[in-house]
Amino acid sequence: ARFAREAWHQHGMRGRGRPEPPGTLAVLTPQERLVVVLRLYEGVAEEQAAALLGLPAERVRVIGDRAIATLTRTPARPVPAASGRRAAPS
Using CA atoms, how far residue 25 sits from 37, 42, 83, in Å, is 9, 15, 26
Question: Domain for residue 53, yes or no?
Answer: yes
- pLDDT tens for each residue of 32-75: 999 999 999 999 999 999 999 999 999 999 999 999 999 998 66
CB 39 within 8 A of CB 32: no
Question: Domain for residue 78, yes or no?
Answer: no
How many Å apart are CA 61 and CA 70, to the nearest integer? 14
Question: Domain for residue 10, yes or no?
Answer: yes
Domains: count for the chain: 1
Q: Is this prediction's pTM over 0.85?
A: no
Question: Domain for residue 84, yes or no?
Answer: no
- What is the CATH classification number for the domain harbouring 66? 1.10.10.10
**Which residues constitute the domain of residue 27?**
2-73
Question: Domain for residue 82, yes or no?
Answer: no
